[in-house]
A and B are shown apart, each in its own frame.
Chain A
Amino acid sequence: MKHRLLLPALASVLSLASVVAGGAVRAADTAPPGASSCTGCHAAQRIPDSVIPRIAGRKASDIVQFMREYRSGAWPSTVMGRIAKGFDDQQIDAIAAWFAAQPE
């Protein structure tokens, strides 16, 4: 499938972006609208014994697919369905790309 080829290329664009932007990773300053609220539950740090799944560093296409399926109800959830309904495709794409660029 196409995205297997495209996503690694994208990842390198993103990591280049954060290197150029200021040495240390400063991806946070460019978080697209909504992304900084996700981290209240899906933190950048590893949280010992949290049962909320980690999404930092996950493939953007996986995050996009989860979000669309939560939004449509195709994939069951406790809370993500209610949250995903607040975002359109373009916003989800931008948030997914940002999380994909965060350290895993």
Chain B
Amino acid sequence: MATRRTFLKLTAAAASLATPSIASAQASGRVVVAGGGFGGATAARTLKALEPKLDVTLVEPNATFTACPFSNNVLADLREISQQQFGYDGVKKAGVTLAQTSATAVDASAKTVTLADGNKLSYDRLVMSPGIDINWGALPGYDEAAAEKMPHAWKAGAQTVLLRQQLQAMDDGGLVVISSPANPFRCPPGPYERASLIAYWLKIWKPKSKLLILDSKDTFSKQRLFQNGWAELYQGMIEWVPLSQGGKVTSVDPSTLTFVTDFARHKAAVGNVIPPQKAGTIAQQAGVADRTGWCPVEPVAFESTLRPGIHVIGDSAIMGGMPKSAFAANAQAKVCAAAIVELLAGRKPVDPILINTCYSLVAADYGISVAGVYRPDKGVLTDIPGAGGTSPLEVVGGFRGQEALYASSWFKTITTEVFG
């Protein structure tokens, strides 16, 4: 209940809402955003909403964005790939200038971005959210040609459709093999949600089939929730081989769809390689990625610790305790945009608080989640102790069904906020 004390606090908050824009300088200048996915498109729109005077250009080669969240539903025939696709009309209407091309080079000292169409953009601040690239070469035998035989489907689109086609063409009784990489990688619960939804579909259409997960880790996100769900729904269909039991895939042979480990060769009817990843290639070119392949940033405005004036958000960045998710990229983008407005106006941004929540589906109507709340601590985004965690292991009534509904509501909400 509001007391006099809370009222005074609230009034103080209201007063501080009013002061900055009246008392101090307004932000002006030019911000370029490279990458129009969950992080970049959010950043561009938020910058424009916060400070309409800013000149904001979003560089993105694709006319439509294909979202990864809920793309595992496409594999299970629960959605069409077209339902994953979003255009940039909403972003343009918000006042953002769109450069439909790739960024090919960044000069951090001249503060310019060179584009594939030959143009060069100068910036006061650059935001990079290029997502991931596959670390081709990190897994012997796996290259771009191999991905046509053993799709990764870790960037949604043609790869997702290819994997779905292969599943549909498979005979009942076939073995589906998924390999899952070591940390860090995009969407830590994603491989296990994928296994779940493929099993969901196999159980209906090809019930004699089996699914094998070869893992380069000994533990994974929401592990007990997934494993309980598998025991409950897909008894005997999914086998998970952890690192310590020889799960690490050391090479693949695309001509025979074979996964090789130190102990065995597994021949698949359908092989899905979720390969090692790194920050989008342009991040390396710009000099913001370190030897790990990912981009170190400070935890308030997400400015690169290697190249001042460049902010990196989303999957490419090293974000302390925050996982690589669309939810996180969107949350980081909003914090980054607000901080850039402050910096351009000559003010110091305040320490942020960020939330992440990753929903996964174990079946169409069976949702689980993991959440975290983060703040900067000793230079790193850190979990606030006592907050966050996974859905409970024991639940009553329609809890899992409710979380499945909240998951799809989240997807509608975030895609409307970013692209609507």
Q: Which residues of A pack against B, CB within 8 Å?
A: 1-3, 6-7, 10, 13-14, 16-18, 20-22, 24, 26-34, 36-45, 47-52, 60-61, 64-65, 78-79, 82-87, 89-91, 93-94, 97-98, 101
Contacts and interface: CB of A to CB of B under 8 A. Distances in A.
B interface SS class: helix
Interface stretch (B117-125, B186-194, B199-207, B406-414): B406-414
Interface of B: 1-4, 6-7, 9-11, 13-18, 20-22, 46, 49-52, 327, 330-331, 334-335, 338, 341, 350-355, 357, 369, 371, 373, 375, 384, 386-389, 391, 399, 402-403, 405-406, 409-410, 412-414, 416-417, 420
A37 B20 contact: no
Contacts of B353: 33-34, 37, 86-87, 91
B312 to A, nearest CB: 18
A14 to B, nearest CB: 5
Given A28-B46, A29-B338, A33-B352, A51 B16 contact: no
14 contacts: A3-B7, A20-B18, A24-B52, A28-B46, A34-B354, A39-B334, A40-B327, A40-B410, A40-B417, A43-B416, A50-B412, A51-B405, A85-B373, A93-B13
A93 B10 contact: yes
B386 to A, nearest CB: 5
Contact of B331 (A26, A37, A51): A37
Nearest to B383: A86
A interface SS class: helix
Contacts of A24: 52
Contacts of A85: 373, 384, 386-388
Contacts of B369: 78-79
- Counting chain B CB atoms within 10 Å of each CB, the highest count among A33, A98, A101 belongs to A33
Contacts of B389: 82
Nearest to B359: A79
Given A6-B2, A14-B17, A37-B353, 14 more contacts: A17-B14, A21-B18, A33-B353, A40-B414, A41-B409, A44-B417, A45-B417, A52-B409, A78-B402, A78-B406, A79-B403, A83-B357, A85-B388, A98-B13
A78 B391 contact: yes
A21 B413 contact: no
Contact of B351 (A21, A26, A31, A33): A33
A29 B341 contact: yes
A37 B412 contact: no
A16 B22 CA distance: 13
Given A21-B22, A79-B357, A97-B13, A86 B2 contact: no
Given A14-B17, A40-B414, A97 B10 contact: yes
B346 to A, nearest CB: 15
A78 B373 contact: no
Contact of A29 (B50, B351, B354, B384): B50
A30 B7 contact: no
Contacts of A83: 355, 357, 371, 373, 387-388
Given A6-B7, A37-B353, A82-B387, A47 B338 contact: no
B2 A2 contact: yes
Nearest to A94: B13
A29 B48 CA distance: 11
